[in-house]
């Protein structure tokens, strides 16, 4: 039998990708309306989708490993940052005129993702045995 708290958690996990896909679509619409390259807008917002997918994979993998959780989380953080920076550097070098569109869409989508991420993943809570604040 499925517990209600698990259903709520599943619903929360769907929020981030839906928001990112809608941000990708809206970025493309705004780029087309303002005469900017649509591919650059899609790449910028799509890069946050890739970031989310890597984040979710690392979160799932780290939560199952008690001894390796910190190493997995740090390795995932380095991997996500490396992927984002590599793509942005490639765009900056190969299509300099489109870089502003790519980075703007990335920053907007990443800001929305960061805000939604606070509600998507549960907080760690206070460590056991810790005294309250003074």
pTM of the predicted protein model: 0.77
Q: Residue 64's domain spans which residues?
A: 9-120
Average pLDDT of the chain, as a whole number? 83
The pLDDT assigned to 74 comes to 84
Tokens of 66: 């008690």
- On whether residue 105 sits in a domain, the answer given is yes
- On whether residue 51 sits in a domain, the answer given is yes
- On whether residue 129 sits in a domain, the answer given is no
Provide the domain count of the chain. Answer: 1
- Give the pLDDT band of residue 128 (cuts 50, 70, 90): low
pLDDT in tens, 55-111: 888 877 777 667 777 788 888 889 999 999 999 999 999 999 999 999 999 999 999
The pLDDT assigned to 44 comes to 95
The alpha-helical segments, DSSP class H, found in the chain are 4-33, 38-63, 69-94, 99-120
Decide if 52 contacts 18 (C-beta within 8 A): no
Burial tier of 36 (Cβ tally within 10 Å: 0-12, 13-18, 19+)? buried
Please give the angle made by the CA atoms of 63, 65 and 71, to the nearest 5 degrees.
Answer: 90
């Amino acid at each position: 039998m499925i517990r209600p708290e698990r259903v709520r958690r599943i619903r929360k996990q769907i929020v981030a990708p839906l928001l990112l896909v809608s941000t990708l679509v809206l970025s493309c619409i705004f780029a087309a309306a303002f005469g900017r390259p649509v591919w650059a807008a899609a790449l910028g917002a799509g890069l946050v989708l890739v970031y989310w997918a890597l984040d979710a994979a690392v979160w799932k993998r780290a939560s199952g490993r008690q001894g390796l959780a910190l190493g997995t989380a740090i390795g995932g953080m380095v991997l996500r940052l490396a992927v984002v920076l590599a793509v942005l550097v490639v765009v900056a070098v190969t299509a300099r005129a489109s870089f502003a569109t790519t980075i703007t869409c990335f920053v907007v989508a990443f800001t929305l993702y960061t805000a939604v991420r606070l509600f998507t993943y549960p907080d760690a809570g206070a460590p056991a045995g810790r005294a309250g604040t003074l």
